[in-house]
Amino acid sequence: MLDNNNYEVLCLYTEALSCALKHRDAHTQLHSQRIVLLSEELGKSCSLSENEIFILKIASCLHDIGKIGIPDNILLKQGKHNPEEWEIMKSHSTKGADIVKKLPINNTELISNIVRHHHEHYDGCGYPDKLSGENIPIMARIISVTDSYDAMTDTRPYHPAKTHKKAIEILNDEKGNKSDPYVLNKFLSRIETSSYRVE
Ligand SMILES: [Fe+2]
């Protein structure tokens, strides 16, 4: 998929973009770093190959890179978004896919596609393309689960951090509608003994 030179160059570009995100929105960059760890663990549980795990980690690191293109009054808003703001907020997935696609190396199409689809739902009610089931790339389905867990167990401007128990309860409720049951089951059995499990 990628030759050795491309691996190295891709890592360097990813670090640079992650640094740009840190300066724009440090909270999202820290969240993305945790997603890399959770996704790597879940990717292994889902029996992804070494090469796929590498791609998954890059995509996890960059999944929210499109947020650098969201205006401050929306990105950093301390309350609920109105419908108009929410539409702009949602555009981070397509903006991120555009950014990744521009990286001057081969095969960024795959990573761009994962970034584009990380908010699709298994039942087809997500965005931006309302993909459903296995039409959603497996790595995007993995990021969707790790993203949900980390977002729920982290303090956000619009909600306090939820406990592990509460987050698992919500994830279970989302099985089959938001989340891929196969991926979610793998996550649920792995997270209990994971060092990334919160209290
Ligand atoms: Fe996102």
- Domain extents for the chain? 4-191
Helices (H), 25-137: 26-45, 50-62, 72-75, 83-90, 92-101, 108-116
Name the architecture of domain 4-191.
Orthogonal Bundle (1.10)
CA–centroid distance, residue 64 to ligand 1 (Å): 5
User: How remote is the CA of residue 93 from the centroid of ligand 1, in Å?
Assistant: 6
Nearest to 34 by CA among 199, 164, 195: 195
Below-50 pLDDT ranges, the chain: none
- pLDDT for position 45: 98
How many angstroms separate the alpha carbon of residue 49 from the centre of ligand 1? 24
**Ligand 1 center to 178 CA (angstroms):** 14
CA distance 70 to 104: 23
Report CA(130)–ligand 1 centroid distance (Å): 15
35-48 pLDDT per residue, tens: 999 999 999 999 99
Distance 65 CA to ligand 1 centre (A): 8
Alpha-carbon gap, residue 25 to 106, rounded angstroms: 28
| Count of Cβ atoms closer than 10 Å to residue 167 Cβ | 21
What was the pLDDT predicted at 156? 78
Separation of 63 CA from ligand 1 center, angstroms? 6
User: How many other C-beta atoms can be found within 10 angstroms of the C-beta atom of residue 49?
Assistant: 10
pLDDT at 160: 87
- Answering whether pTM is above 0.75, one says yes
Question: Residue 4: its pLDDT value, please?
Answer: 64
